[in-house]
Amino acid sequence: MFTVKGKILMTVLTVVMMFALFILFYFPKRQERYLLENYNNEVENFVKTVALGVKIALTEQNFEGVETAIDFVRHDERLEFVSLIQIDTIKNSDGVETKIEKTVFKTYPENIEVNPEAVSNEQFIIKHASFASPMMNGMIMLSFSTKDIVKSKKQIRLTSILASLIVFIIGLVIGYLLARNISRPVLALRDAANKVGEGDLTQSVKNQSRDEIGELGIAFNKMVRDLSIEAAMERVRHEIANMRTKDDLLSITPLIWKELETLAVPFFRCGVFIIDETEQIIQSYLSSPDGQTLGVFNLQFKEDEIAGHLVTNWQKETIYTEHWDKNKFMAWMHSMAKKGHIKDATIYQGASKPPESLDLHFVPFKQGMLYVGNTYPLSSEALHLVKTLAEAFSIAYSRYEDFKKLEDAKNQMEKTLSELRSTQSQLIQSEKMASLGELTAGIAHEIQNPLNFVNNFSELSIDLIKEMKEELTNGNVKEVEDISLDLIQNMDKINHHGKRASSIVKAMLEHSRSGERDKVLTDINAIADEYLRLAYHGLRAKDKSFNADFSSDLDQNLSKIYVIPQDICRVFLNIINNAFYEVAKKAKEGIEGYLPSVSIRTKKLKNKVEIRIKDNGNGIPPDVLDKIFQPFFTTKPTGQGTGLGLSLSYDIIIKGHSGELKIDTKVGDGTEFIILLPE
């Protein structure tokens, strides 16, 4: 495969070779012929002149004239010989020419034998010129040497070889230069194109020539530039699209910085102003002159003159430019530092000296203005590039905003969710507290009664002992015996009611204590009975008009089982409370002969303990039945139920104790909750 260079060289060499060959062969041939022709003509002229001179001389019978005519050529160096030949025409008797006789009359140089019939050859040129005179008819025969011609021929050959050689060399040089001139930019283009292909968009070709290759180079450079702009925009889009948080936005300015550099826009400061019309603020992201971000600060719409210009031009979607000298720059910097927008003026200034001249360019886009600061005003071309960058930025930024909105919505939802969760846990807590509250009144009543008994029986016992002492003194043994029996009974009562009170206190403690969640061996009968009473008295305490019959049927064969007592107590309390609530509600309907009643029954089954809590309320309709274990579902009026009681109960029995919780209900007749706990 031939390279462009090779092809050009070959072509040039072929042309040069042909030219050289022409010089080498055709040119000398032609020259020689021309030379020969000229020589022939010259000799011809000579011979004619001599012949004319001889004719005149012979006509005048002046023989010296003949010599004079010969003299015309006699001294010519090239002369071989010159002859005067007499031609006689011999006629026969009829006057018809039969023979022409040629006789050499005179020759110079005399010593040469001349053959009148001789013709030109390589060495000589022989020319004839006939004449007629009254004295004689004849011809002049002239022979000239071709020695000179042969010499000239050699000369020509030599010259032509030299000339062709020179032509060849020049051709070679020109060809090489031409090939190089054409191939070098082409090769440079090829290499640059390869690099661009590999992703290096900083390539450009240097080409000053004004030919097609130069144009190609310009087109190539433009193409690479367009590509690099497009790549820069793509990077902006990509980077911004990846921004997720406000902190990410801080990398806006380094990004813009980098891309302005890529786009070869002259600048030394840049920034982005995001304009928020609803908040009336401009979020300002600025860079220091070394490309570092200066963070973000919020500029009020009416805070600053430049802020005002920014907003009005942004609204009009026009580019705004301003020129600052050193003083103006310093004034702005200090005012920003004073307001606390700029933390460190030296970092803001960046360089050791403030700029002598700063041309500020603000290019609008949908969400704000892109700022480019340079020492001199930007060309319209550069501004166009900045505008393109701003547009790319805008698209990407709006995507960021969309994402941000989504993110915010997500965060809001997460917040709401966590709030809901905390509300839920609060509600669970308040459900617990509510049931504790319900208990407290019951507990007060329940504790008060045994305490009253304790107090009464102990007071009575004191009196009895006094009496006993008296009787002893009187020696009345029978009375003493009776009194001591009473005393035993009283002590028994005191003991019983004391224990009763303490067990209530214990239950209360267990109910409120949530930290300890260990399963302990528990007497289900005891807590079932206790909580039935507690629930009853709790409700009574709250609602004076409330009343219901309650009873318990406890299987004495029930052995203690491992449960979390406070949890099971809560389940009992929840279900019993609901039962009382239901019967009380039904009682208010004023049905004739209705006796509200709640009962609790325990029963030992195989490997299981069954607790049945039954009411004769209105029962649960099927549509409600589906939902009663759902958290926050309640049929009670607002404020009276948290909707968590049964949901918690369900969790406690099913999850906490691997038990079962079943409902047997009939609308109008009542409901029975059946709890099954493994032994």
Partner 1 sequence: MKILVVDDEHDIQPLFEQRFRKEIRSGEFIFVFAYSGEQALECLKDYTHEAVLILSDINMPGMSGLELLKNIKQKHHQPPPVVMMITAYGDSDNYTRAMELGADDFITKPVDFSTLKEKIKTIH
Residue ranges in contact with partner 1 by CB under 8 A = 444-445, 448-449, 451-453, 455-457, 460, 464, 486, 489-490, 493, 496-497, 536-537, 540-541, 544, 547-551, 595
Instruction: Measure Cα distances from 47 to 50, 109, 145, 619 in Å.
Output: 5, 16, 14, 163
Q: How far is the CB of 415 from partner 1 (least distance, A)?
A: 45
Q: How far is the CB of 446 from partner 1 (least distance, A)?
A: 9
Pick the closer one to partner 1 by CB: 395 or 451: 451
Q: How far is the CB of 425 from partner 1 (least distance, A)?
A: 34
User: CA 595, 596, 599 angle in degrees (round to 5)?
Assistant: 115
Q: How far is the CB of 464 from partner 1 (least distance, A)?
A: 7
Q: How far is the CB of 602 from partner 1 (least distance, A)?
A: 18
Cis peptide before 354 (omega within 30 of 0): no
Pick the closer one to partner 1 by CB: 336 or 464: 464
Q: How far is the CB of 449 from partner 1 (least distance, A)?
A: 6
Pick the closer one to partner 1 by CB: 165 or 595: 595
Pick the closer one to partner 1 by CB: 101 or 463: 463
User: What's the distance, Cα to Cα, between the start and end of the chain in Å?
Assistant: 96
3-state secondary structure 258-297: HHHHHCCCCCCEEEEEEEECCCCEEEEEEECCCCCEEEEE
Pick the closer one to partner 1 by CB: 159 or 456: 456
Pick the closer one to partner 1 by CB: 107 or 547: 547
Distance CA 120, CA 139 (A): 16
Q: DSSP code of 123?
A: S
Q: How far is the CB of 561 from partner 1 (least distance, A)?
A: 27
Pick the closer one to partner 1 by CB: 54 or 583: 583
Pick the closer one to partner 1 by CB: 145 or 449: 449
Pick the closer one to partner 1 by CB: 486 or 660: 486
Distance CA 657, CA 673 (A): 16
Q: And the tokens for 639? A: 């404020």
Q: How far is the CB of 593 from partner 1 (least distance, A)?
A: 14
Q: How far is the CB of 586 from partner 1 (least distance, A)?
A: 15
Q: How far is the CB of 576 from partner 1 (least distance, A)?
A: 13
Pick the closer one to partner 1 by CB: 101 or 459: 459
- From the CA atom positions of the chain, what is the Rg in Å? 68
Q: DSSP code of 396?
A: H
Burial of residue 128 (CB within 10 Å: 0-12, 13-18, 19+) is: middle
- Residue 336 contacts residue 305 (beta carbons within 8 Å): no
Pick the closer one to partner 1 by CB: 37 or 553: 553
3-state secondary structure 320-352: EEEEEEHHHHHHHHHHHHHCCCCCCHHHHHCCC
Distance CA 370, CA 362 (A): 5
Q: How far is the CB of 587 from partner 1 (least distance, A)?
A: 12
Distance CA 579, CA 670 (A): 9
DSSP string covering 559-624: PPEEE-HHHHHHHHHHHHHHHHHHHHHHHTTT-TT---EEEEEEEEETTEEEEEEEE-S----HHH
- Residue 47 contacts residue 129 (beta carbons within 8 Å): yes
